[in-house]
Amino acid sequence: MTALVPYTPTALTRYEMNERVVPPVTDIYETADSFVVKLDLPGATKESIKLQVEPRKLVVQSSITADESMNLLYSEIGRKRYYREFNIGDGINVEGIHASFEDGVLTITLPKTDEMKAREIKIQ
Amino acid sequence: MMVRVAYPNIFDELIEEFFTPALDVTPTVYPAIDILENDAATVVVAEVPGVKKEDVSLKYENNVLTISGERKPYEIPQDARILLNEMRVRKFTRSIEIPHDVDAEKITAEMNNGVLRVTLPKAEVARTRTIEIK
C-alpha cells in the first residue's frame, strides 16, 4: 500500500518527550559571615522546589509543570526536572540556612558558624 | 508547519564554546525557547531567569517576533569572594519567525517565575476552520 500523503510528524506533545534532568546554572559567593548560592530555576515555583540539607550535602531539586494542552512546534526547554547537589563542609550553621525565590532565581544563604567567621587578630 | 528560529552570533558562540570548559552548563543560545501552538494562537515561551519585566522588550514586525533584554547583575557585597560564576548572560536578543499571520493588536505577554510567555493570536485567515458541505 502506498500512502497518498507521506506522513510527516509536525508536532509532538510534551508528554511524548523524555524528561531530562538538568543541573541549574549556579553562582556561589562567600562573604565574611555566609555563603550565598544562587540558582536559575526558570519555570519552577516556590512550592515545587525541594531544598534538602543532608550531612555535608545540600540538594536542590524541582519538577516543572509543563503545559500539555498545546502542540509543541519547536523545543529547547522541553520536559525537564532540575537537580543539583553541593558539598558543604563543617562550619555551616545548618539551622540558619534560609532561601528565597524571585524571578526564577533561588537564593540560598548558608550562614557560617562563629568558629568559621574570619577574625581579625590584634597584634599585641 | 515549519518554524524558523534565528541563531544569532553563531561564530561568536563557536569561539566561546572553544574556550569554555566542557562542564559549563550555561546555554549558548539565549534565551532557550519553546514554541507551542493550538487553533487559536502560537505561544512563544522563553526562559529568562533573573530578568525584570521592565528590562525586556518585545517587537513584532513582518511576522518576526524579537525578544531582547538585559539581565542586570544582582547586588553583591563589596567584600564577597566569587567561588562559582556560571550566570554570564547579560544582554540578549532572539528572533522567531511566526509561520502564520498574527492578529498583532491582540499579542499579549506575561512573565512568571523567570519565564516569559508571548501569546500571538492567529489572524482570522490563519485559523483552522470546519468547512460545511452544502
Q: In CATH, what number is assigned to the domain containing residue B105?
A: 2.60.40.790
In a domain, B131, yes or no: no
The shortest C-alpha distance from A43 to chain B (Å) reads 6
Q: Which of A92-96, A102-106, A116-120, B1-5 has the highest mean pLDDT?
A: A102-106
Alpha-carbon distance A95 to nearest alpha carbon in chain B (angstroms): 22
Q: How confident is the model at residue A81 (pLDDT cuts 50, 70, 90)?
A: very high
- The CA distance from B132 to the nearest CA of chain A, in Å, is 23
CB pairs under 8 A between A and B: 115
Q: Kindly determine whether residue B77 and residue A45, on different chains, have CB atoms separated by under 8 Å.
A: no
**Record: contact A74-B33, CB cut-off 8 A:** yes
What is the mean pLDDT of the segment spanning A93-103?
94
**Does the model's pTM come out above 0.80?**
no
Do B106 and B118 touch, CB atoms closer than 8 A?
Answer: no
Question: Hey, are the CB atoms on B36 and A29 less than 8 Å from each other?
Answer: no
Of A30, A67, A101, the CB nearest to B36: A67
Question: How do residues B27-75 score in pLDDT, each as one tens digit?
Answer: 567 899 999 998 899 999 999 999 999 999 999 999 999 999 999 999 9
CB–CB contact B33 A44 (8 Å): no
**Of A1-5, A17-21, A71-75, B31-35, the least confident:** A1-5
Grid coordinates representing A97 are 540556612
* Angstrom distance (rounded) from CA B93 to CA B33: 12
Query: Is residue A25 packed enough to be buried (19+ CB in 10 Å), middle (13-18) or exposed (0-12)?
Result: buried
Can you tell me the distance from the alpha carbon of B36 to that of B44, in angstroms, rounded to the nearest whole number?
6
- Residue B109 makes CB contacts below 8 A (sequence gap 6+) with B58, B116, B117, B118, B119
Asked if residue B72 lies in contact with residue B52, where contact means CB atoms within 8 angstroms, the answer is yes
- What pLDDT sits at residue B89? 76
Categorize the per-residue pLDDT at A1 as very low, low, confident or very high, splitting at 50, 70 and 90: very low
- Shortest CA gap A72–chain B (Å): 5
Partner residue facing A103 (CB), from B37, B49, B80: B49
Residue B71 lies in a domain: yes
How many structural domains are present in chain B?
1
ipTM of this predicted complex?
0.79
Question: Looking at per-residue confidence, does A18 or A17 come out higher?
Answer: A18
Does residue B132 lie within any of the structural domains?
no
Nearest CA in chain A to B111: A103
Backbone angles phi, psi at B93, to 5 degrees: -155, 140
Domain range enclosing B69? 2-125
The pLDDT assigned to A2 comes to 47
- Strand partners of residue A104: none
A42–B48: do the CB atoms touch at under 8 Å? Answer: yes
pLDDT of res. B25:
47
- At a CB cut-off of 8 Å and minimum separation 6, what does A49 contact? A41, A60, A61, A62, A101, A106
* CATH code of the domain made up of A17-67+76-111: 2.60.40.790
Contact B7, B104 (CB under 8 A): no
Residue B66 lies in a domain: yes
Q: Where in chain A are the domains? A: 17-67+76-111
